[in-house]
Structure 1
Amino acid sequence: MTTATARSPYRVTTRRVLRSEWHKLWTLRSTWITLLSASAVVLGVGLLMGATYTSDGGDSDVDTVVLVLYGTLLGQLCVTVLGILVTAGEYSTGMIRASLTVVPRRLPVLGAKAAVFAVVAFGWMFATALITFVSAQLLLQDTDQAAGLTDHGVLGAITGNAAGITLLSLIALGLGAALRSVPGSIGAYIGCVLILPEVLGMLPYDAVDSALRYFPTQAAGALGTATPIPGTADTGPALLALCLWAAVSLGTAAVLLRRRDA
């Protein structure tokens, strides 16, 4: 009897939980809408920047990758909203009860959601950034912003751009799991991640300015530059800080998931 139970084809495994979350993510209409919207914004703005840029416009000192991927500032909002929908959306529909009934230990559900979403978000946004950069460079080839993927720092900046968006979205995913409300999580993300650093930046203290370099959006911005920008954190510390922010968000969600009812 014990052997038969252990070999049951219906037992919960990490692979099956991951596969379940993968299917759930791709069968949601919101997944396609938000990801396609993010790509459209990033690509559209990149092509606009390439088409309207002139060498005598006074922007020659702007980082090439930052210029081309300026639409990331809007595109990342689409992906972070999707991160919130991945967790808080299940609470709004009641689907989370079924998920936690099948996986009573709970934490594997959150871990699988975060892992699947991170892979999808990074892969999608990396491909978007890569296509946008190459497409925009076709329009910039006769300007002082002409660059190639093999130029120093370019591919790393494109990768960092996608990594920054992914980690910001994981912070949003953790907020969604902790707050269990789509509007509340969006409001908390906008207020704490986007607005709070701007408010703190008005304080006339050097210590505050130094600390703000490692806040989520500022750290993510430092990852997407081919050349270091004065006043921003170095790539390594910025990546570490962003990973810690994501870990805190997901860790808080994990503790609350274990302590509260579904």
Structure 2
Amino acid sequence: MIRIKAVVFDFDGTISTLRAGWEDIMIPLMKDSITGGVQLSKEQEAQLHQQILTYIDQSTGIQTIYQMRWLAETVQNAGWNQEILDEWEYKAEYNRRLLERVKERVDRLEIGDLRAENFLIQGAAEFVKTLHEIGFELYMASGTDHPDVVREAEVLGVKQYFKEIVGAPVGKAECSKEKVLRDLMEEKGLAGNEVAVIGDGKVEILLGKEVGGLALGLASDEEKRTGINPVKERRLQAAGADWISGDFLNLNEWLEKLGV
């Protein structure tokens, strides 16, 4: 008898690499918004850069709107930029910049100009298909906007394996990962030890541990799509992950961790 009944997956960086490099878009957006074009000293610039890097490292995996809320507060507190936007305006600009890159990839995947396997963590498609065939209920929870997650999961060929896909609700500040876990506990009556969470960010690992579930870390190298990313590994260890891998090529080991 399988002890784990439901598996909750993060999407970006755990299954998909379509949004790999999002940090390279968020960092300059934050820096430009905070400084407002004011020329900083080298020391101020270094401090600000480190502040942004530290925040992004701490917040990876949460809904984008919360990161933009931090940005709005930081712009106000810094006092350099007199044009202070609200969190939704910052999010809109971030999404605009990010989707310039992502939309092209998704469009080309839809017409067959690109291959889905080149944007999946290695072994991910076979892993979710295997879990589905075994009988696990699979859920996807992401901090990315819901319509985008659904479309991206579809073009990558994994959508059909998930019982439910939950992204960030458009126009609302609500944690999709917390919602999925709460629904599994409250509405479906699952106990914590019947749920496993798999992700590359500390948010889902912490939430998984909080409900008493099995928290499996995926310290993915999104460029190579295989192997351990030591930065993510340290982040996941600090969050209390029960086990960490870099990809899903070690299928039997993953199945063993899930009690198969």
TM-score, normalized by the shorter chain, greater than 0.5: no
Higher strand residue share = 2
From the CA coordinates, give the structure whose radius of gyration is larger: 1
**TM-score, structure 2 as length reference:** 0.30
Higher helix residue share = 1
**TM-score, structure 1 as length reference:** 0.30
